[in-house]
Amino acid sequence: MIKRSEKNTKIAIRNLYKIFGADPESVLGYVRDGMSKAELLEKHNHVLGLNNINVDVKEGDITVMMGLSGSGKSTLIRHLNRLIEPTAGEVDLDGVNIVDLSGKELRRLRREEMSMVFQHFALLPHRTVLENAGMPMDVRGVPKSEFEDEANKWLDRVGLKGVGDQYPFQLSGGMQQRVGIARALCSNAPVMLMDEAFSALDPLIRTDMQELLLELQSELQKTVVFISHDLDEALKLADHLVILKDGYVVQQGEPQEILIAPNDDYIVDFISDINRARVLRVRSVMEKTERPPENPAGEVDENDNLESVIARSEGETALTYIVTRNGKQIGTLKMTNLVKALVPTAASEEGLRTSAV
C-alpha cells in the first residue's frame, strides 16, 4: 500500500483567495492582514469566499472537502476547473497553473483533464441516457457511432445496462446520478470533481452510491475531489479530509488522525456526535510493534473498525490482539486503549497553535 505522502501531487492549491464584491483586489490586503469574514462584510461590503487556501490533492486519492453552509467548499471546487476566477493565488494541475490558461486551453482542460458530477444531475432532458453518458466524447466531435460502445461500457459499469434508449425523466434520482457518474467516466479524465453529488438522494440510495464510488475508485484510481456537508459520508470516502469554516481551512489530514487529534474546538464540536467505534480503525489506536504479545486473543486487521473488535472481544477489556497488514504483524491492540479511544478528545494544544495550515 502506497502511503499518501509518497504519492504525487496532482493538484496543488497555493495561497488561494476569493473575495466577492465590487472591487475585490482593493480589500485583499485587509484579509491578508487578518480581517475576518464578518468584519469585511460590515466595513467594506465584500464577501470573503476563500481565505489563503493551501491544499495538496494527491494522485489517486479521494480528497473530501467539507464544512457547513457558507464554509467555502463549493466555491473552492469551482476554482479547480476555473468556473470561478480567484482573486489571488494558484491552482496547479500537474505543475501547470490553470489561472494562467487561455480560454482555448481551459476548454481543453474541462473536456479532457477534469470531469464533474453535479448535485442535481445536470442531465439534458431531450437526450437519451446513452447520449447523456457519451456527451464528453460528443463535444469533442466524436460521432455517436464511435462513442456508443464507450458510453454503454460505463453505463453497464454503474449498473444501468439496457437503459441507454430511455430519457432522464424515466429514471429515478439514484439512476440519474449513475448516468452523471457514467458521463464523468466516459470522458476518461484523470480528475473527477464531485460537488455534493449524493446529497439530493434518499439515505439508502446515497449509501449505494457511496459504495459504488469506492468500488470504482479501487479499480480506476482516479483523483477525486468530493464536496460534502455530511461528516459520516466524508469519513467513509476520504483518503484526505479538508474541513473548512468561513472560507479557511480549520484542519486537514487523514480522517483517522483528525478524529484522534482534533486541533480546534470547532472540529471537536463537529465530530462530537459521531459513532467513534464505527468510524475509528484499529491502525489508529494500535501500538506499532512486531513483537508478539503474551497470550494474544487473536489477530485483527489494521483496517477493522473498533466496533467489530468490541463484538469479537465480547466486552472483555483485558485482551490484547495482534494487528496485521497483509497477514504480517505491524502492531498490537490492547482493549484498554481501544476503550480510551472511544472517549471524545479535546482539541490538542499543539493543534490549536498550528491550526490554519
Residues listed for the chain = 357
DSSP structure string for 5-17: GGSPEEEEEEEEE
Residue 235 grid coordinates: 469519513
pTM over 0.95: no
DSSP structure string for 254-266: -HHHHHHS--SHH
In CATH, 59-81+98-253 is 3.40.50.11890: no
At a CB cut-off of 8 Å and minimum separation 6, what does 357 contact? Answer: 54, 249, 251, 252
At a CB cut-off of 8 Å and minimum separation 6, what does 110 contact? Answer: 81
In this predicted structure, what is the pLDDT of residue 57? 97
CB distance 24 to 46 below 8 Å: yes
In this predicted structure, what is the pLDDT of residue 291? 94
In this predicted structure, what is the pLDDT of residue 270? 82
pLDDT tens-digit series, residues 94-122: 999 999 999 999 999 999 999 988 877 78
In this predicted structure, what is the pLDDT of residue 356? 40
Residues (pLDDT < 70) of the chain are 1-5, 345-357
Mean pLDDT for the chain overall: 91
Q: What is the residue type of 139?
A: V
The residue extents of the domains of the chain are 59-81+98-253, 278-341
What are the angstrom distances between the C-alpha of 219 and each of 191, 192, 215, 237, 340?
Answer: 15, 14, 7, 15, 36
In CATH, 278-341 is 3.90.1280.20: yes
CB distance 315 to 309 below 8 Å: no
In this predicted structure, what is the pLDDT of residue 1? 53
First to last CA, the chain: 26
